[in-house]
Amino acid sequence: MNESLDTAHGRQVLRIERRLAHPPEKVWPAVTEPEHLREWFPAEVRLDPRVGGRMTFHFGSGPDAPPESVGRVEAYEPPRLFAFSWQDEQFRIELHPDGPGCLLVFSHVFDDRAGAASFASGWQICLDAIEAVLDGRAIDHSARPSGLLHESYVERFGLADGVAETTGDGWRVRFERQLTRPAEAVWAALTGGSSDRLGTLGAAPPPGFTTDEFPAGPVTALDAPSLLEYPWEVAGAPAGRIRWELTEGTGHGARLVLEQTGPLEQTGSTDAPSGQATALAAWRARIEPLARQLAEEADRLAG
């Protein structure tokens, strides 16, 4: 399988290619007919098979199931091309003859770059299921993407890097990172799982939220397990702020947003860190072991 993530017209384009041992005529029903789609697609699908046709996506009847949503058929050219839109995102399935089989090209267009690893690992499970259906093999409908598979896509797509910018008040560094465990588990990992390290307003932040390059001041905002903020200091005086925030993410984990601000010019201390470059390196070195720890934990819990 061949996967790539590109940007086109300001949007993210995930592309996955897979060679199948079956001709387009056999694969076409598996990717367009509701009775076959239910075997691999993450929702129950109903559709009017024509350009402009209505599609509906149903996720079950449990208390936590999302409500039914609606999409539209954008292209329908048997047995070559099926494309549709769903919740402001676009999907495209192309089938190209390839000897006795075919090349399936799947693409997904979306805005949430930080969620790309979740999308890619999820679609990999789905495409595995298509192949199993076509080969007549049993499908494990409980299969979920592994945490380490997710992390491999983070690395492949360059999603671990932070971004830096200069503002009117100074500089800012920002990391947005999809994780593989919920916010409560992330918070436990950051605090060492100890109730006496959960953080307290006015006290020093737990070590997991800090880095040696930027000495931490007292906690100024706290809402466990979703928010912790504190100033970082130079020569005992505040030089900027560091803010950790955990929100609902893509897939089964929390979305981490980490921001640090700093002054345009150093405060005069020779001990002051060098700004954005130091922050980018320091926080990446802090976040990556955390993300891997959480991914390994997710895989252990999944059995």
DSSP helix/strand/coil, 151: helix
Predicted pLDDT of residue 140: 76
Q: What is the pLDDT of residue 1?
A: 60
Check whether 270 has a pLDDT greater than 50. Answer: no
Of all residues in the chain, the percent with pLDDT exceeding 90 is 82
Q: Which domains, and CATH codes, for the chain?
A: 2-157 (3.30.530.20), 163-302 (3.30.530.20)
Could you tell me if 111 and 12 are in contact, meaning their C-beta atoms sit under 8 angstroms apart? yes
In this prediction, residue 279 carries a pLDDT of 96
pLDDT at residue 129 tops 90: yes
Residue 267's pLDDT band (cuts 50, 70, 90): very low
- pLDDT tier at 128, thresholds 50, 70, 90: very high
pLDDT at 69 over 50: yes
Yes or no: say if 210 and 216 are a contact pair by the CB < 8 Å rule.
Answer: yes
DSSP 218-278: ---EEETTTEEEEEEEETTEEEEEEEEEEEE-STTSEEEEEEEEE-SS--S-TT---SHHH
In eight-state DSSP terms, residue 208 is G
**pLDDT tens for each residue of 12-30:** 999 999 999 999 999 999 9
Mean pLDDT of the chain: 92
CA distances to 14, 131, 249 from 69, rounded to whole Å, are 22, 27, 19
- Poorest-pLDDT segment among 14-23, 28-37, 44-53, 185-194: 185-194
**Predicted TM-score of the model (pTM):** 0.90
Nearest to 24 by CA among 75, 93, 92, 107: 93
